[in-house]
Structure 1
Amino acid sequence: MLVWFLPVFLVFLMIGLPVFFALLFAPGILLWLNGQERDLALLYRNLYNGMDSFPLMALPFFLLAGEVMNRGGITERLVQFSQAFMGHLRGGLAHVNILSSILFAGLSGSAVADTSALGSTLIPAMEKQGYTRRFAAAITAASSVIGPIIPPSGIMIIYAYVMGQSVAALFLAGIVPGILVGVGLMIMVRVMADRYDLPKAERIVERGAELKPVEYWVSFLLLRLNLAGVFYLLAGFLPLGAAASGLPLYIGLLIPAHFLLMFYRTRVDPDFRVVCKKAVAPLQTPIIILGGILLGVFTPTEAAAIAVLYALIISFGVLGVMSGKDLVDVLKRSAMASATVLLLVGAAVSFKTVVSLSHAPEILAEFILSLSENPLTLLFLINILLFIVGMFLDAGPAIIILGPILGPVFTSLGVDPVHFAIIMSVNLTVGLATPPMGLVLFVASSVSGEKVETISRAILPFLAVEVLVIMLITYVPAISLTIPRLAGFVN
């Protein structure tokens, strides 16, 4: 009888019951009807136990860091930085939109935040340059799905917790797929640019801009530290790396890093240089997060807390664009978002209890294997299922519901758990921009004032690119697994 928990859950969703209550009521009612009162008590006790987790604390910290960076005027700096690199191309602002999403993904990890922050800036600018509003809204919605793929990613933290996977492994596995989505969208824009005569954009929007002394010296120091770090990594592959190592080598490499940057300084436009320096401090966030995790300096949860501290230092001390009143509003917004997600995760752990009691994974495994024994065919079918689910259900709840059911099935078929996690995460994330119920479509509609129906038609070419990337990720595991394998997180 317990196997009916999923149909009952779907009925509750269709009548409008919030996902959190549906996750608890559907299995709860069936346990009660089945006379399993002890398991019913376990179901609701696991609601708290599911939230009481140190690794899960990374989620509210990353949400808070993203809110602080968004409120701290980071969006405008990232857009100007992207425009300095991509604005001269045909369809320049469309390329800028995509590159900004890639950069913003390393700060927020949220598709909704990406659509809201970048859309409010870029959609009016694109319309002013001659783009149709529906095209501007469509490219904003399509590129925003990169946010939860490139680390840090809220849905990957949820998947890692629910399925017992490494957060660091999932973060690293999402880098190349996220970049692939961005590159694919840029190629599509380039194809459309000639056909629709898309306009170029101005590379430098603000000329004669100056940096505050604090921001100048912070960017001066960070650029040299980062370039010396690149040299240090390269030295590990050269004989020099065997002769000297550790801190002395790194300090020594600061000297060539400084002279290389001074050489570069004399050969670029001063306004271009200022735009780049403005983006240095914000773009340090993903470097701190991933660098610290890879070097073993801190855990993903500790990295999230350090990201919050760094965001506060940059927004208050370096850029000076936030006040105490802004911080109160940021804390309220991040608290509400965190509470929503944590309640869903707690309910998911309870839901997972009934999944195991009902033997649903075993039943589903038998059904899937009856369709075909070829893992490649089954992966294609599961991608179709996930794509359909993503049209109607947000990525977080979908992972919470389907992860415990589908994950064990495909792991038993020989699919690497991290690889399947990326397949599922990317597919459901693309669902955020898929008609008819994609959440970012409604956010883009709200920001642009364009109807969801018109945005849905304009976004179809970009969705086709994203589906192609999903298939590449599915059938070429090296795309997802190479970086975590090199880092030692995947065998």
Structure 2
Amino acid sequence: MSVGAAIGISFVVSLLLGMPIAISMGAASVVAIFISGLPITFLVQVMFEALNSFPLIAIPLFILAGGIMEKGGLSQRIVNIFMPLIGRTYGGLAVVTIMACMFFAAISGSGPPTVAAIGSIMIPSMLKQGYSANFSGAVTASGGTLGILIPPSVPMIIYGISSDTSIPRLFAAGIIPGIIVGTLLIAAAYLLSRRAGYRSEESRVDFAAFRVALREGFWALMAPVIILGGIYASIFTPTESAVVAVVYGLFVSTFVYRETSFAKLKEVFLFCATISGSILVIITTATVFGQILTLQNIPQELAAWIGSLSDNKYVILIIICLVLIFIGMWMDTIAQIILLTPVLLPVVIGLGVDPVHFGIIFVLCCEIGFLTPPLGVNLFVAMRLTGCSIESLSKSALPYVIVLILAIVLIIFLPQLTLWIPNLIYG
């Protein structure tokens, strides 16, 4: 049996047995190492090198910062800022949910924590106002996808490392697409709410309450300004900005809002350790898996086949996006980026596509994976918050999936939407 066949069979069998994606890739890698005759030290060396990266330190730190700011009252104050502006607008609470997700995304850097932080506040409010549980869960899960598009973004850090692309440029490139996707999601939530009749009959716009909430939430709003402003001003690196985010979150939640306790910090650290540990395990096993595939020339052959399909870069990008969306239904975002970036990047660069532009397209495709089962991580978080079935939430999230697909098409054909700010800042 060839090494390539052994990798494929063992990987598929592991997945069918219900093993996590990281264990499946690790098991397939071990099988390939024994069949190919590689020394077992190869496994250890590649795993060590995969984690021996300074930018990777930013991942657990951004997750930690997001957890601290959630438990420390920053997410609640972000929501409070928008609540007085609802009035009798159709879907007002849904709009607030997505806007709050946009702001919290600029702190957490990932999707599921954004859903958990904002959903725990907004879903009970929506249910109380008569919104259906399915609608509430779907709109929160959809807003949470912005956690990986609006900088800082953990998947962007992984893509930057995998593709040797500037992480600050990637962060800058995500700003306009993040605003566009957020606006489209808000429009979809409004139209769906109008059709369903979700509207507050008693609420009115209260500018006095808005001013009070804005004053109380000043420190919360300053978090993304400090984190991203420091990166774009070249005051500190993305990794250093993660440290700043943690320190800032601890300071504000402890000394300004005074909502931090040892019990809450213990919960945050346990959550951070669990999420970060799983991500780092995926990174190590995916790197080994990818190295073995490279030694077998599988990525090169796949890249050549994709390149032979068409000479039109837009056709190739659309084909790649369809493949990424399908794979995202089954594979974790981090593993997908590590495995497929070395395969796809040479193809799109050969067609004249900027690596930063492709990185944003890649992340947008990964967003859909958060809303599509059987993986659908954001849906599972929303399921725990609402008590709805994954099937009903998937159906309710379908309009937002369509919105994300439209956003991908828009970004593909208008690369200036992603490249304008990084070119303006970094030249």
Q: Is the TM-score greater than 0.5? A: yes
Deviates more, 1:462-471 or 1:344-353: 344-353
**Corresponding residue number in structure 1 for 2:34:** 32
Q: TM-score, normalised by structure 2?
A: 0.94
Find the aligned partners of 2:81 and 2:153 in 1 and give their Cα distance. Answer: 23
Are 1:16 and 2:18 counterparts? Answer: yes
- Whole-Å separation in 1 of the counterparts to 2:420 and 2:184: 20
Runs of 4+ in 1 over 4 A off after TM superposition: 201-205
Per-residue CA shift, 1:317-367, capped at 9, x if unaligned? 110001123222222221222222122222233233223212223201221
> Cα offset for 1:412?
2.3
* CA distance in structure 2 between the aligned counterparts of 1:406 and 1:271, rounded to whole angstroms: 50
Structure 1 residues 202 and 47: alpha-carbon distance in aligned structure 2, compared to 1, 3 A threshold: farther
Partner of 2:119: 119
Q: Is the 8 A contact 1:83 1:202 kept in 2?
A: no
Determine the structure 1 residue equivalent to 2:380: 442
Q: Which amino acid aligns with 2:244?
A: I
User: Does the CA contact (< 8 Å) of 1:107 and 1:286 recur in 2?
Assistant: yes
Secondary structure class of the residue paired with 1:373: coil
The alpha carbon displacement at 1:436 in A equals 3.7
How far apart in 2 are the matches of 1:367 and 1:420?
19
> Greater CA deviation, 425-434 or 407-416?
407-416
State the partner residue of 1:349. 287
Larger Rg: 1
Deviation at 1:6, TM superposition (A): 4.4
Q: Which residue number in structure 2 is paired with residue 233 of structure 1?
A: none
- Tell me whether 1:406 sits opposite 2:408 in the alignment: no
| Contact kept in structure 1, 2:294 and 2:300, CA below 8 Å | no
Q: Is the 8 A contact 2:172 2:232 kept in 1?
A: no
C-alpha contact (below 8 Å) 1:87/1:96 kept by paired residues = no
Deviation (angstroms), 1:202: 6.4
> Structure 1 residue 413: deviation in Å?
2.4
Q: Distance in 2 between matches of 1:120 and 1:202?
A: 23
Partner Cα separation in structure 2 for residue 439 and residue 175 of structure 1: 23
Contact 1:85 1:203 (C-alpha < 8 Å) held by counterparts: no
Residue matched to 1:459: 397
Spell out, residue by residue over 1:118-143, the C-alpha distance to the aligned partner (whole angstroms, 9 max, x if none).
22221121121121111111111111
189-198 or 354-363, which deviates more: 189-198
CA distance in 2, matches of 1:409, 1:43: 28
Q: 1:22 is aligned with what amino acid?
A: S
Q: Which runs of 5+ in 1 are unaligned?
A: 206-267
User: What are the Cα deviations for residues 402-432 of structure 1, in whole angstroms up to 9, with x where unaligned?
Assistant: 2222222222222111111111111112210
> In structure 2, the residue corresponding to 1:82 is in which secondary structure?
helix
SS at the partner of 1:16?
Answer: coil
How many residue pairs match? The answer is 425
Q: Which residue of 1 aligns with 2:150?
A: 150
2:222 aligned residue: 284
- Identify the residue that residue 275 of structure 2 maps to in structure 1: 337
2:146 aligns to what SS in structure 1? coil
Q: How does 1:195-344 map to 2 (within 5 A)?
A: 195-200=195-200, 269-344=207-282
* Counterpart-to-counterpart distance in 1, 2:14 and 2:201: 49
Correspondence list, 1:396-435, <5 A: 396-435=334-373
State the distance in 1 between where 2:357 and 2:393 align: 32
2:105 aligns with: 105
Distance 2:47 2:150 in 1: 29
CA distance in 2, matches of 1:342, 1:183: 33
Give the unaligned 5+ runs of structure 2.
Answer: none
Pairwise CA RMSD = 2.0
Q: Is the 8 A contact 2:59 2:276 kept in 1?
A: yes
Q: Deviations over 1:145-171 (max 9, x none)?
A: 011110111111111122222211111
Please give the alpha-carbon distance, in whole angstroms, between the structure 1 residues aligned to 2:378 and 2:258: 31
Following superposition, the deviation at residue 269 of structure 1 comes to 4.2
112-121 or 195-204: bigger deviation: 195-204
Check whether the contact 2:148–2:154 (CA below 8 A) recurs between aligned residues.
yes
Contact 2:79 2:97 in 1 (8 A): yes
Q: Percent identity?
A: 38
Deviations 1:51-71 (A, max 9, x none): 122111111111110110011
**Cα offsets for 1:381-416 (capped at 9, x unmatched):** 111111111122221222122222222222222211
Shift of 1:189: 2.4
Match of 1:370 in 2: 308
Query: Match for residue 92 of structure 2?
Result: 92
The TM-score with structure 1 as length reference comes to 0.82
1:45 aligned residue: 45
Distance of aligned partners of 1:114 and 1:298 in 2 relative to their CA distance in 1, 3 Å threshold: same
| SS of match in other structure, 1:165 | coil
**Separation of aligned partners in 2, 1:323 and 1:125:** 25
